[in-house]
Amino acid sequence: MDSHPHGTAPHRVDLVVYPGFKALEAVGPMSVFDYANVHLRRHGRPEGYAVRVAAAQAGPVRSDTLMALEATHTLADLERQGAGCTVLLVGSRDIEQVLAASADLVAWAARVAPRVARMIALCSGSFFLAEAGLLDGRRAATHWSVASLLRQRYPAIEVDADAIYVRDGHLWTSAGVTAGIDLALAVVEEDFGHDLALEVARDLVMYLKRPGGQSQFSVQLASQRTGHRDIQAVQNWVLEHLPEPMPITVLAARAAMSERHFRRIFQQETGQTPSAFVESARLEGARRLLESQASLPLKTVAARVGLGSEQALRHLVVRHLGITPQAYRERFGGPARR
């Protein structure tokens, strides 16, 4: 939306922390909302967000780092006053231990959630909402390392272990750490439009404002996790030369292996075939171009990622994402560049 979501009054965001909360998950979204205010002022508009830090007790709350945040409000204050328009619950490195000691926070979330515009759980913070029963019958995201635990403990939840963030009604959940920034940018976009969210993303030097449906695992990260030097070198070459033909003969030769041996080692090291990795790399490259360059012809997008035609691009995107390249661009892309 282009106008202020709540007249001239700032949209209140209550950031809920507790001892051992993940510092980056709190500071990242706080920075997004702060930069949003900066850009709104530059455009001659009133500030859009008033962020408050809340905890069980007022005062400094130590994070998982040397940093602490000063809680200016208590959970009881929020409940008496009416919790903010948006509530953010951050995650913890040891969520099982924290959850076992947080019955009061879980009960508070259960009481407050129906009264707020948005209840957001970042990373393993989704366990608080799950324990409160708020996510039953809904889709939810969390950090990939605890996705199986969330699914095991709360079988009524449809856990999306791969999503950057998930919105199901007024409940939002995100993947780990920096994904909270992506979610906060999505909130800004919902409240004030795509252009403002993109301005904030540029301030934060975000390479790309990722939509929620994107995977937690990019092909770049996948290549960084590969331990075999020769296989990693091939992966990096693929990522840097997407427009070029990539038959198995070429890839195997770059690794100085026979085709049979290369296939076996590649699968062993990466969990996928060489052709599957190339396809994933081309799909991710296509998505980036569709999201960031709205005026680029689809046949040019196809050529830049090594697909022979616009039809081949369409086939790849529809098969993996369930929508056409044009529909994906309309949903996730920015305005056309002039």
User: Are 33 and 77 part of one and the same domain?
Assistant: yes
Where residue 250 falls among pLDDT bands split at 50, 70, 90?
very high
Read off the pLDDT of each residue in 85-92 and give the average, rounded to a whole number.
94
Q: 214 lies in a domain?
A: no
8 Å CB contact between 36 and 10: no
259 and 197 share one domain? no
Q: How far apart are CA 239 and CA 218, in angstroms?
A: 11
Instruction: List the one residue out of 323, 252, 242 whose CA is nearest residue 280.
Output: 242
Residue 13 has pLDDT above 90, yes or no: yes
Q: Are residues 139 and 230 in the same domain?
A: no
Question: Rounded mean pLDDT of 107-111?
Answer: 95
Do 227 and 183 belong together in one domain? no
Are 176 and 221 within 8 A, CB to CB? no
Whether the predicted pLDDT of 242 surpasses 90: yes
Query: 3-class DSSP state for residue 297?
Result: coil
* Residue in this structure with the two tokens 């190339």, named with its chain if needed: 278
What is the per-residue pLDDT for 338? 35
Q: Which of 178, 203, 228 is the last residue of a domain?
A: 203
Same-domain status, 225 and 155 = no
1 part of a folded domain: no
Of 172, 203, 234, the last residue of a domain is 203
Q: Are residues 197 and 236 in the same domain?
A: no
Label residue 90 by pLDDT band (50, 70, 90).
Answer: very high
Res 323: pLDDT = 81
265-278 per-position pLDDT tens digit: 999 988 889 999 99
Same domain for 199 and 224?
no
Residues 225 and 102 in one domain: no
pLDDT of 243 above 60: yes
Can you give the CATH number for the domain in which 271 is found?
1.10.10.60
Q: What is the pLDDT of residue 223?
A: 55
| pLDDT at residue 28 in the model | 93
Residue 3 lies in a domain: no
Residue 4, domain member (yes or no): no
Q: Which 3 state secondary structure label does DSSP give 308?
A: coil
Let me know whether 196 and 232 are in one domain.
Answer: no
pLDDT of res. 253: 95
Instruction: Give the lowest-confidence range in 29-38, 96-105, 139-148, 201-210.
Output: 201-210
Which tokens belong to 279? Answer: 């396809």
Mean pLDDT across 156-175: 89
Q: What is the pTM of this model?
A: 0.68
Quick one: average pLDDT of 120-136?
A: 96
Asked if pLDDT for residue 170 goes beyond 90, the answer is yes
Inside any domain, residue 337: no
Question: Does 179 score more than 60 pLDDT?
Answer: yes
Residue 59 is assigned to a structural domain of this protein: yes
Same domain, 191 and 263: no
Angle formed at CA 189 by CA 186 and CA 190, multiple of 5 degrees: 90
Q: What is the pLDDT of residue 337?
A: 40
Tokens 């969990």: give the residue. 271
Res. 218: pLDDT tops 70: no
Rounded CA gap, 56 and 58, in Å? 7
| Contact (CB, 8 A) for 335 and 296 | no
Tell me what the pLDDT averaged over the chain comes to. Answer: 87
SS (H, E, C) the chain: CCCCCCCCCCEEEEEECCCCECHHHHHHHHHHHHHHHHHHHHCCCCCCEEEEEEECCCEEEEECCCCEEEECEEHHHHHHHCCCCEEEECCECCHHHHHHCCHHHHHHHHHHHHHCCEEEECHHHHHHHHHCCCCCCCEECCCHHHHHHHHHHCCCCEECCCECEEEECCEEEECCCCHHHHHHHHHHHHHHCHHHHHHHHHHCCCCCCCCCCCECCCHHHHHHHCCCHHHHHHHHHHHHCCCCCCCHHHHHHHCCCCHHHHHHHHHHHHCCCHHHHHHHHHHHHHHHHHHHCCCCCHHHHHHHCCCCCHHHHHHHHHHHHCCCHHHHHHHHCCCCCC
Q: What is the CATH number of the domain that holds 172?
A: 3.40.50.880
Q: Which amino acid is at 81?
A: Q
Count of domains for the chain: 2
Q: Which of 203, 230, 245 is the last residue in one of the domains?
A: 203
One domain for residues 228 and 151: no
**Both 230 and 296 in a single domain?**
yes
Domain of residue 39, residue span: 11-203
87: in domain? yes
Judged against a pLDDT cut of 70, whether residue 109 lies above it is answered with: yes
Residue 2: band (very low, low, confident or very high) from pLDDT cuts 50, 70, 90: very low
| Residue 211: inside a domain | no
